Amino acid sequence: MSANRNLHKAKVNKKDEFYTQLSDIENELYHYWPHFRDKVVYCNCDDPRVSNFFRYFSLQFEPLGLKKLITTCYKNQQVDIFSQNDSERAIWLEYDGTRNETGVPSIEDIGVRHLEGNGDFRSAECIELLKQADIVVTNPPFSLFREYVAQLIEYDKKFLIIGNKNAITYKEIFPLIKQNKMWVGVTPMSRDLLFDLPKEYAQFLVETKREGSAYKVLDGVVKGRSQSMWFTNLDHKKRHEELILTKRYSPEKYPKYDNYDATEVSKTKDIPRDYSGAMGVPITFLDKYNPEQFEIIWTTDRGGDGMIEFMKKPHDRHDAPVVRGKGVYKRIFIRNKRPQA
């Protein structure tokens, strides 16, 4: 019984109980089809038995024109302790599209192999699989997001992944966004993503958390709410769309920060069309960010290439932007490359 309790606790404590909804994958992937023809897709943080990523790519294998689909699945030691047999060993799957007449891949069509290790994306055997891949698509563990992205960059992979919104301001992540090496996917980042949950975890959330914050109920089904968004380095149409600006600058409407030499613009849609100086905007600006239209300078977080130092005014705090004595939330500093009259 006590082992049972521990198991339950282990399950509840396990962070990665959030499974991406098939509809969210479909809605995002829809915008990238040309990128996938003849490509090897790798989902390296997936359990193919429950993952909608594997499901999506195996079902869309032929329409997308994929060359190969590879999936690896992480299994931590915790689970092994309680399992009765070795069916919980880490596995990897390879699918090259051979199909039976039903159009749905059968187990015979898919090569299922055991991994030597635990399936950690950082392990040598998983890196070997990564090297074969053209595009990586998955929902990696948020706690390892930095390392995860660093590895993708190191091996020069195209990717389409889900991460926490706050990851934008991580000091390892923001430079990639500034340098246009990574950007926001098509699904608006301002909207929360909802996730499928295992039954026990859904129950745990309902019992201990608040509806609307930790979870939401959709058609009677409990979905986990997370401040998540898509990150990618695959080009898409949205990031080339001009953001239409209607407001005009005036010093009264657009105050300067007390501690930064920049103008506060509290809503992206209020960016003045005729202003060429540095502006602070909410991080959700990145939804509308078109690199031909705007230049990203830096965020209010310290670090970076020293640019931010030039914007600091004498003040007792620089951890948050301050307007008329009142602190506001994190901002991204931008400049309009082509202000209009």
Partner DNA sequence: ATCTGTAGGGTGTAGGCTGG
Partner DNA sequence: CCAGCCTACACCCTACAGAT
Q: Please report, as ranges, the residues that interact with DNA according to CB under 7 A.
A: 15, 142-143, 145, 164-167, 169-171, 188, 190-192, 209-210, 212-214, 216, 227, 266-268, 282, 284, 287, 301-303, 317-319, 327-329
Helix axes 199-208, 2-13, angle to 10 degrees: 80
CB of 4 to DNA, least distance (A): 24
CA distances from 98 to 36, 39, 82, 133 (A): 18, 16, 36, 19
Q: Where are the alpha helices (DSSP H) in 212-277?
A: none
Encoded tokens for 321: 């932007």
CB of 254 to DNA, least distance (A): 14
CB of 314 to DNA, least distance (A): 14
- Which lies closer to DNA via its Cβ, residue 248 or residue 317? 317
Whole-angstrom Cα distance, residue 152 to residue 158?
Answer: 8
- Which lies closer to DNA via its Cβ, residue 110 or residue 150? 150
Whole-angstrom Cα distance, residue 131 to residue 152?
Answer: 10
The CA angle 292-295-296, to the nearest 5 degrees, is 135
- Which lies closer to DNA via its Cβ, residue 111 or residue 303? 303
CB of 242 to DNA, least distance (A): 17
Residue 253's CB is within 10 A of a number of other CB atoms, namely: 13
For residues 286 and 309, the answer to whether their CB atoms sit within 8 Å is: no
- Which lies closer to DNA via its Cβ, residue 181 or residue 191? 191
| 3-class secondary-structure state, position 285 | helix
Pseudo-torsion of CA 284, 285, 287, 289, nearest 10°? -160
- Which lies closer to DNA via its Cβ, residue 73 or residue 265? 265
CB of 167 to DNA, least distance (A): 6
Whole-angstrom Cα distance, residue 235 to residue 181?
Answer: 10
CB of 26 to DNA, least distance (A): 16
- Which lies closer to DNA via its Cβ, residue 58 or residue 268? 268
CB of 60 to DNA, least distance (A): 25
- Which lies closer to DNA via its Cβ, residue 158 or residue 165? 165
Whole-angstrom Cα distance, residue 53 to residue 45?
Answer: 10
